[in-house]
Amino acid sequence: MKQTEVLLQPNPNARIEEFVYEKLDRKAPSRVNNPELLGQYMIDAGTEFGPGTAYGNALIKCGETQKRIGTADRELIQTSALNFLTPLRNFIEGDYKTIAKERKLLQNKRLDLDAAKTRLKKAKAAETRNSQLNSARLEGDNIMIWAEEVTKSEQELRITQSEFDRQAEITRLLLEGISSTHAHHLRCLNDFVEAQMTYYAQCYQYMLDLQKQLGSFPSNYLCNNNQTAVTPAPSVLPNAIGSSSMAPTSGLVITSPSNLNDLKECSGSRKARVLYDYDAANSTELSLLADEVITVFSVVGMDSDWLMGERGNQKGKVPITYLELLN
């Protein structure tokens, strides 16, 4: 339970604050979480750079996505606390404490019962020894004393046995309820897993949408981490884009809107290198592996952000922003 709280709220100060408010039976104030805070800073920075600039616009888009992730994170915490943590805490602080208390009481009753059995056994043994003595005086006095001790021990044993049986029945009934408690906690665990599944699916979709939005920017803004060879100097880059005298980089040309448009307007095919791994969303698309070379060509009526890709006998749509055309 504690580790789940750490997972949902890593900040120990925030956990202490929530605990205090819970004990005071008051609602904790709403706090901005880390993704929301990062998102707001990104949006502010993007606004200062200017929404009309590529970098400023990208910062704003990233900030909006971070804020959506923050909202999803807040929903995960609320859902998990309601459906998983609260039932678990109620059991640990309620039924579990009662069961532990009754089990401890049963243990004490068992010790009392063992002690009563031991006293009765000793009393009977002493009575037997004294009955075997030949002295009439001892038989008249000590045997009567030990007979009374045996009777007293037997009565005490009956009482302790009755108390032990009663406590054992109470404990047994409480422990029998554990099976239904486990079934309830299993449902709560399923709810927790579903909440996590929904959260990660939302985050994945948000980042996928963001990646597609960033992919609409010119590729010379996006390929910094993929330029493994010599990068053209800044003074050469404006002339290289859209011209036939492109500076070669190990036989590769950075994909730009102009040469992509040329490819879509012509009816021929070109070779292209894949920049990133891509998992096909459906059967009409083609999955890609980074650094592989495929054949691409345009199809009339296809969305402007897509080309038709071909690898051997496999064929399907591929996103333009994942490609780098070869000379």
For the ranges 25-34, 61-70, 110-119, 223-232, the lowest mean pLDDT is seen at 223-232
Rounded-to-integer distance, Cα 143 and Cα 127, Å: 6
257 pLDDT more than 50: no
For the ranges 5-9, 56-60, 199-203, the lowest mean pLDDT is seen at 5-9
270-326 has CATH 2.30.30.40 classification: yes
pLDDT (mean) for 182-190? 92
pLDDT in tens, 155-180: 999 999 999 999 999 999 999 888 88
Please give the full DSSP string across 15-32, using - where no structure is assigned: HHHHHHHHHTT-PPPP--
Alpha-carbon Rg for the chain in angstroms: 39
For the chain, give every domain's residue range. 32-216, 270-326
3-state secondary structure of 310: strand
Give the residue, 27 or 280, on which the prediction is more confident.
280
3-state secondary structure of 249: strand
Q: Checking DSSP bridges between strand 314-319 and strand 306-311, what pairing results, if any?
A: antiparallel
pLDDT in tens, 70-118: 999 999 988 998 899 889 988 988 889 999 999 999 999 999 999 999 9
Residues contacting 70, CB < 8 A, separation 6+: 32, 33, 34, 35, 36, 37, 39
139 pLDDT more than 60: no
The fold of the 32-216 domain, in CATH, is: Substrate Binding Domain Of Dnak; Chain:A; Domain 2 (1.20.1270)
For the ranges 90-104, 137-151, 257-271, 274-288, the lowest mean pLDDT is seen at 257-271
Sign of CA dihedral 48, 49, 55, 57: positive
Q: What pLDDT sits at residue 224?
A: 44
Q: Checking DSSP bridges between strand 323-325 and strand 269-274, what pairing results, if any?
A: antiparallel
